[in-house]
């Protein structure tokens, strides 16, 4: 056991580790993300007793309102969106230490008011709270807020940890991401910066690491000798809804591939870290990113496909095409579908195609990683009618129906040696009693604890954009119109051209 | 809710096991989306007379319901086995592509003569390769003893026996043979977490070496819980435990810390639920920290040596007794290395 002055010996055996008293400041406190995700996540942490022993929240937003008005809005959002039914006593106690600061994000007076409120919390409690600034605003305000925090000297404190959490998207392309990184890192040190990709907070995404590195049976086949190809899919049946103004500027490549899907790829392809800590894990992920050679402009048409959904049907109901959606310019050539073929050029993965595809208005919502192994080298019982023999496939489903399945060839009962694929399945819901926390609960708590493993480091952001940027540039150069696929279909036919002989897109 | 059931009088474990297999098969044929939960087995041994009460408690654990629950009801005078099995899911599947988790409940009525060989009745009914937890809320220590060879975990509540010394003795005996999940210990989790959190800031950690007093307020029948909390502090902070004595309706004593003695006092308190009502910790420098039950969480209070006082709410919803039992089931899948040292320290304070 450690001496009491060095470590806290009372934390041994506890599931919920102490978090230093914290004042959390949410910029964009009245926005959709705050209402639907952040405030309910905070309530759930409070409900479970996971928030810091002492916790204050300050909402910052443009609209003028009182503390009480904001508390009422917060109560309403929590009651509407919390995954657990709120306990009135816990909610009341949480709201007691909530304050609101109105104003525009470039107004120095906002930061004066903010500092005054933060210091008032410190004085009342007679302790110095850690400060976490959560930027849940439109991306153009990220540098504005960061620099204003620096101007107001709220970026450091001699007796407290100060951290900044930055929502996605982090940049619009490589250049803008680098510029944003420079501006952020002029004010905060990298260890203070927590760039959110909420996908990394999902239990099933983290399970990719557990699955790979806690089971010795997969490592021997986890390489180019045994793996034929990998397919990562993030499909949605929904359209763009009311997000036209954001989505038409972003497109599928920026919205999902640049962050979530490349993160999945990195977790799938990385080498085992020497230790499960933020720097070691992120070092290995960055190595994978660097091993993916960005395509040249000439290569882009052969390695990347984009398309837009046209009119079609989802769940038996007719739906509009992308260009008919409210708020979308009729001449837009923003892609709602993107598919890529990438290769990780290192000893383990050389020559293994890794296919990525994402799209809206596809037949179902599904995120999965499918690893297809090479076929057996010789089939002794082919004569017996073994046409059903298929390569083994390992499927890691991220959502919905989180789990892992493995297809194996098995003998069909009967006198003849006939084979067909059967599934060996593991589903999260059948094997654990606990309910997975929302990704934001985990991420907010980690940011308050200073645990950066599930956040994106500056060089990681750079590496992610470096892969995507040439494709964005080539597509911009090529202009439109772009291929269409009917809503509810499997996607554009053009995506078939990305596949090497013998490979196929998994049916959605 | 969707359910298929089977029952039989005067049957054998083999018949029950066959019936279960048939039910699972039928269920799968009915809809392939009925997926059996495969997390843990739970064996509960109860008095036949109070079976309904335990069924209600088990239903209350919600998502922490064991994958397969085997409720063994002991009925005086019974000589045969009667059994009832149910496979149930929260939803009734109709369309393709749906999934529903299925749990299995088995009830077996036995007589006292069956207890000595209870393992041979229960063993064929367990799902193999899953963790098995045994719970015996109405005593039946003899039944638990014969099942420990099958079980990985013994679930108990050390405050249920009014003879505190006997209760902790029994817990220690079980802990030597299986992993013990003690509901009394789980009720103290928020208290332990908050005490740990209070001393977690680096500038406060040195105070852990200077604690001079611990007062625990507890429901009068929850002395074991109070002892375990002090036992936890003693084992984590290297205090040498000594026997406590009764004085003015409380238990008092001095434990030897690294830098001096620590006064310990356990006081009874009016409380509607089992467990702890409050705890106060003093340091040799005159600081005081206390926690008490309050609305929306625990009410924390701190008085520093210069007389400054602060009071705040440490947020957290009460789990309630149903929640505690559910947490007990969940904890069967985890391991807490601090329980047994705390238990040993608590026993020493009773000696």
Phi, psi for A467 (deg, rounded to 5): -75, -40
Q: What is the pLDDT of residues A203-262, one digit of tens each?
A: 888 888 888 999 998 889 999 999 999 999 999 999 998 889 889 999 999 999 999 999
Model confidence band, residue A2 (pLDDT cutoffs 50, 70, 90): very low
pLDDT at A412: 79
Distances (CA, A) of A133 to A273, A278, B163: 30, 20, 53
Q: pLDDT over 70 for what percent of chain B?
A: 100
Q: Identify the H or E element spanning A403.
A: strand A403-411
| pLDDT surpasses 60 at A22 | yes
What is the predicted ipTM?
0.90
On chain B, the residues whose CB falls within 8 A of the CB of A127 are 201
Q: Which residue of B has its CA nearest to A9?
A: B236
Q: Which residue of A has its CA nearest to B238?
A: A1
Q: Which residue of A has its CA nearest to B206?
A: A5
Which position has the higher pLDDT, A348 or A414? A348
pTM attached to this predicted model: 0.89
Among A43-52, A77-86, B140-149, B317-326, whose mean pLDDT is lowest? B317-326
Model confidence band, residue B161 (pLDDT cutoffs 50, 70, 90): confident
pLDDT at A4: 42
pLDDT at A423: 83
Tell me the two tokens of residue A371: 């690893």
Which position has the higher pLDDT, A132 or A410? A132
Sorted by sequence, the CB contacts under 8 Å of residue B152 that are 6+ apart come out as B131, B132, B133, B178, B179, B332
Quote the CA–CA distance of A448 and A462 in Å, as a whole number.
25
Kindly state whether B31 is in contact with chain A, defined as any CB-CB distance less than 8 angstroms: no
Please tell me what DSSP assigns to residue B177: T
Distances (CA, A) of A21 to A54, A75, A119, B201: 5, 22, 13, 9
| pLDDT surpasses 60 at A368 | yes
Quote the CA–CA distance of A308 and A346 in Å, as a whole number.
34
Residue B154 burial (CB count, 10 A): 24
pLDDT at B194: 93
Q: What is the pLDDT of residues A265-278, one digit of tens each?
A: 999 999 999 988 99
Find residues 225-264 of chain B whose CB sits inside 8 Å of chain A.
233, 236-238, 258
Identify the sign of the CA torsion B39, B41, B46, B50. Answer: positive
Nearest Cβ partner for B205 among A8, A46, A53 = A8
On chain A, the residues whose CB falls within 8 A of the CB of B338 are 12-13
Is the Cβ pair A18, B38 closer than 8 Å? no
Please tell me what DSSP assigns to residue B273: S
Find residues 299-328 of chain A whose CB sits inside 8 Å of chain B.
none
Is the Cβ pair A92, B295 closer than 8 Å? yes
Helices (DSSP H) in A258-400: which residue ranges? 262-269, 278-290, 300-303
Among A104-113, A270-279, A430-439, whose mean pLDDT is lowest? A430-439
Which position has the higher pLDDT, A394 or A206? A394
pLDDT at B160: 85
Kindly state whether A427 is in contact with chain B, defined as any CB-CB distance less than 8 angstroms: yes
Quote the CA–CA distance of B173 and B104 in Å, as a whole number.
31
pLDDT at A445: 95
For chain B, the C-alpha Rg in angstroms (whole number) is: 23
Which position has the higher pLDDT, A204 or B210? B210
Edge to edge, the sheet with strand A484-486 lists: A419-427, A403-411, A393-399, A366-373, A227-235, A354-359, A337-342, A304-310, A484-486
| pLDDT surpasses 90 at A413 | no
Kindly state whether B111 is in contact with chain A, defined as any CB-CB distance less than 8 angstroms: no
What's the rounded mean pLDDT across residues B341-346?
97
pLDDT at B318: 81
Kindly state whether B5 is in contact with chain A, defined as any CB-CB distance less than 8 angstroms: no
pLDDT at A199: 85
Q: How high is the mean pLDDT of chain B?
A: 92
Q: How far is A285 from chain B (nearest CA, A)?
A: 30
Kindly state whether B209 is in contact with chain A, defined as any CB-CB distance less than 8 angstroms: yes
Nearest Cβ partner for A18 among B197, B236, B315 = B197
Residue A157 burial (CB count, 10 A): 15
Nearest Cβ partner for B296 among A4, A8, A90 = A90
What's the rounded mean pLDDT across residues A471-491?
94
DSSP E strands: which ranges in A16-68?
Answer: 22-27, 55-61
Is the Cβ pair B316, A47 closer than 8 Å? yes
Q: What is the pLDDT of residues B286-324, one digit of tens each?
A: 999 999 998 888 999 999 999 999 999 999 888 888 889
Q: Which residue of B has its CA nearest to A12?
A: B338
pLDDT at A1: 40
Tell me the two tokens of residue A392: 């083994």
Is the Cβ pair A49, B317 closer than 8 Å? yes
Is residue A382 part of the annotated active site? The answer reads: no
Which position has the higher pLDDT, A331 or B318? A331
Is the Cβ pair A430, B37 closer than 8 Å? yes
pLDDT at A384: 59
pLDDT at B94: 80
On chain A, the residues whose CB falls within 8 A of the CB of B333 are 432-433
| pLDDT surpasses 90 at B258 | no
| pLDDT surpasses 90 at B97 | no
Q: Give CA angle at A449 (A443, A455), nearest 5°.
A: 40
For chain A, the C-alpha Rg in angstroms (whole number) is: 25
Is the Cβ pair A54, B317 closer than 8 Å? no
* Catalytic-role residue among A47, A157, A198, A260: A260
Is the Cβ pair A4, B196 closer than 8 Å? no
Q: Which residue of A has its CA nearest to B204?
A: A5
**Do A117 and A58 meet the contact criterion of CB atoms below 8 Å apart?**
yes
Is the Cβ pair B200, A18 closer than 8 Å? yes
Find residues 115-154 of chain A whose CB sits inside 8 Å of chain B.
125-127
Model confidence band, residue A386 (pLDDT cutoffs 50, 70, 90): low
Among A148-152, A216-220, A459-463, B168-172, whose mean pLDDT is lowest? A216-220
Nearest Cβ partner for B315 among A12, A46, A429 = A46
Nearest Cβ partner for A89 among B189, B208, B295 = B295
Q: Give CA angle at A34 (A155, A173), nearest 5°.
A: 65
CA-based end-to-end distance of chain B: 51
């Amino acid at each position: 056991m450690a001496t009491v002055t060095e470590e806290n010996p009372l934390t041994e055996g506890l599931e919920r580790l102490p978090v230093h008293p914290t004042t959390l400041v949410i910029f964009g406190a009245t926005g959709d993300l705050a209402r639907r995700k952040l405030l309910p996540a905070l309530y759930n942490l409070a409900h479970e007793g996971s928030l810091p022993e002492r916790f204050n929240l300050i909402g910052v937003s443009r609209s003028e309102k009182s503390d009480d008005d904001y508390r009422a809005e917060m109560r309403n959002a929590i009651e509407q969106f919390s995954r657990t039914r709120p306990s009135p006593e816990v909610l009341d106690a949480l709201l007691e230490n909530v304050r609101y600061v109105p104003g525009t994000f470039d107004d120095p007076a906002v930061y004066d008011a903010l500092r005054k409120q933060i210091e008032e919390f410190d004085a009342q409690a007679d302790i110095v709270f850690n400060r976490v600034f959560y930027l849940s605003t439109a991306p153009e305000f990220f540098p504005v807020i960061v620099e204003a925090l620096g101007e107001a000297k709220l970026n450091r404190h001699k007796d407290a940890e100060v951290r900044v959490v930055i929502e996605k998207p982090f940049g619009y392309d490589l250049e803008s991401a680098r510029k944003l990184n420079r501006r952020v890192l002029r004010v905060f040190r990298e260890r203070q910066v927590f760039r959110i990709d909420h996908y990394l907070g999902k239990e099933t995404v983290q399970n990719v690491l557990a699955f790979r590195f806690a089971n010795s049976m997969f490592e021997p086949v986890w390489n180019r000798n045994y793996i034929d190809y990998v397919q990562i899919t993030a499909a949605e049946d929904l359209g763009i809804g009311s997000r036209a103004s954001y989505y038409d500027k972003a497109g599928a490549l920026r919205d999902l591939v640049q962050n979530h899907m490349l993160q999945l790829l990195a977790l799938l392809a990385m080498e085992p870290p020497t230790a499960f800590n933020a720097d070691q894990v992120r070092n290995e992920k960055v190595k994978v990113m660097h091993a993916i050679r960005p395509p040249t402009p000439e290569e882009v048409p052969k390695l990347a496909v984009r398309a837009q959904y046209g009119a079609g049907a989802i769940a038996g109901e007719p739906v509009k095409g992308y260009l008919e959606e409210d708020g979308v310019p009729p001449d837009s050539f923003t892609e709602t579908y993107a598919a890529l073929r990438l290769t990780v050029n290192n000893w383990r993965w050389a020559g293994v195609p890794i296919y990525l595809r994402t799209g809206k208005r596809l037949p179902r919502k599904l995120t999965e990683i499918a690893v297809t192994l090479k076929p057996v080298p010789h089939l002794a019982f082919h004569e017996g009618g073994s046409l059903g023999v298929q390569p083994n496939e390992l499927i890691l489903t991220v959502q919905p129906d989180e789990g892992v399945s493995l297809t194996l060839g098995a003998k069909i009962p009967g006198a003849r040696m006939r084979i067909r694929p059967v599934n060996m399945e593991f589903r999260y819901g059948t094997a654990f009693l606990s309910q997975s926390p929302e990704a934001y609960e985990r991420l907010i708590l980690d940011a308050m604890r200073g645990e950066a493993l599930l956040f994106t480091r500056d060089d990681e952001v750079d590496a992610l954009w470096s892969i995507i940027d040439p494709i964005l540039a080539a597509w911009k150069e090529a202009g439109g119109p772009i291929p269409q696929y009917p809503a509810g279909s499997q996607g554009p036919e053009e995506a078939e051209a990305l596949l090497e002989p013998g490979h196929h897109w998994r049916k959605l | 809710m969707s359910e298929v059931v089977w029952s039989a009088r005067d049957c054998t474990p083999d018949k029950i096991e066959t019936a279960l297999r048939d039910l699972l098969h039928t269920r799968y044929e009915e809809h392939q989306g009925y997926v059996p939960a495969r997390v843990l087995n739970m064996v509960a041994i109860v008095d036949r007379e109070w079976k309904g009460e335990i069924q209600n408690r088990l239903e209350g654990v919600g998502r922490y319901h064991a994958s397969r629950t085997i409720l063994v009801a002991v009925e005086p005078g019974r000589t045969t086995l009667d059994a009832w099995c149910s496979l149930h899911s929260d939803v009734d599947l109709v369309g393709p592509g749906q999934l529903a988790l299925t749990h299995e409940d088995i009830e077996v009525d036995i007589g006292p003569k069956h207890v000595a060989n209870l393992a041979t009745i229960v063993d064929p009914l367990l799902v193999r390769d899953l963790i098995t937890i045994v719970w015996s809320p109405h005593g039946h220590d003899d039944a638990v003893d014969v099942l420990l060879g099958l079980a990985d975990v013994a679930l108990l509540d050390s405050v249920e026996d009014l003879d505190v010394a006997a209760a902790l003795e029994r817990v220690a005996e079980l802990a030597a043979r299986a992993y013990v999940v003690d509901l009394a210990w789980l009720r103290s989790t928020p208290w332990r977490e908050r005490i740990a959190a209070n001393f977690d800031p680096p500038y406060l950690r040195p105070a852990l070496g200077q604690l001079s007093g611990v007062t625990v307020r507890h429901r009068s029948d929850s002395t074991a819980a109070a002892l375990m909390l002090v036992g936890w502090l003693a084992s984590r902070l290297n205090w040498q435990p000594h026997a406590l004595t009764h004085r003015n309706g409380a238990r008092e004593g001095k434990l030897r810390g690294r830098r001096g003695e620590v006064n310990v006092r356990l006081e009874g308190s009016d409380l509607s639920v089992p467990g702890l009502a409050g705890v106060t910790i003093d340091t040799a420098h005159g600081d005081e920290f206390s926690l008490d039950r309050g609305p929306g969480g625990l009410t924390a209070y701190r008085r520093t040596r210069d007389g400054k006082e602060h009071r705040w709410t440490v947020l957290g919803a009460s789990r309630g007794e149903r929640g505690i039992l559910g947490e007990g089931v969940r904890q069967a899948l985890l391991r807490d290395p601090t329980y047994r040292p705390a238990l040993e320290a608590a026993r020493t304070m009773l000696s």
